[in-house]
Homo-oligomer: A and B are copies of this chain.
Amino acid sequence: MSQLLRVQNFTVSSDGFGAGEHQSLERPFGTADPGRLMAWLLATASFPHRAEPGGSRGLDDCLVRDFGTNIGAEIMGRNKFSPHRGPWTDLEWQGWWGDEPPFHTPVFVLTHHPRPSFTLSDTTFHFVDGDPATVLGTVKEAAQGRDVRLGGGATTIREFLDADLVDTLHVAVVPLELGSGARLWESPDELLDRFHCDVVPSPSGVTHHLFWRK
């Protein structure tokens, strides 16, 4: 079986935004409240940074568990990795995830401002510049036969969708309007010419959209 490029657990507002405007160190999701946007994910037993025991083990949890299944590497945008823009002024910044990032594979950060790779626990971050197809070729090699996860944000996912490189997408739509920010879509229907889609309402209130290539 060929290696897939997969989006997992990407969460957007009902009007299609993955984050609000004005991302900063204090507000990784900008004007969007991550506690509300990510509530479905935070409530699951398998959420990687879950502090206390407990949590749901139903539909949402099954999708959260799928985050790492057969994944050999991740591609993420610069804005997922860091609140900073432009040339790196602070190489001390090593991402939002502390000493034990939840990736457990190589992670490739797209940026026009390369910097040296570094390793935290079992995750190594690399910094790459290039068009989506070229970067994907490099990352598939690093994934050693397993799939590649496209981690977001919205702008990065759009670039790979526009280059027709995405094989499957799981997007959780939250009943919450943001009005502005980083937009994934105007409507999920935009993808139906190229993808099958299962639309699955969860008892938690989010609606999972599971797309796969026609």
- Enumerate chain A interface residues (CB-CB to B < 8 A): 1, 45, 53, 56-59, 61-63, 65-66, 69-70, 167-168, 170, 196-200, 202-203, 208, 210, 212
Contact = CB atoms under 8 A, between A and B. Distances in A.
A53 B24 CA distance: 45
B63 A212 contact: no
Nearest to A212: B57
Task: Say whether chain A's binding surface is mostly helix, strand, loop, or mixed.
Answer: mixed
Contacts of A168: 57
Contact of A196 (B58, B69, B70): B58
A154 B66 CA distance: 26
Identical copies of this chain, number: 2
Contacts of A69: 65-66, 69
Given A202-B198, A203-B198, A210 B59 contact: yes
A210 B58 contact: yes
Contacts of A208: 59
* Residue from A45, A57, A202 having most chain B Cβ neighbours under 10 A: A57
Contacts of A45: 212
23 contacts: A1-B53, A56-B196, A57-B167, A57-B196, A57-B212, A58-B196, A58-B198, A58-B200, A58-B210, A58-B212, A59-B200, A59-B208, A62-B62, A62-B66, A65-B66, A65-B69, A65-B70, A66-B66, A198-B203, A199-B203, A200-B200, A200-B202, A200-B203
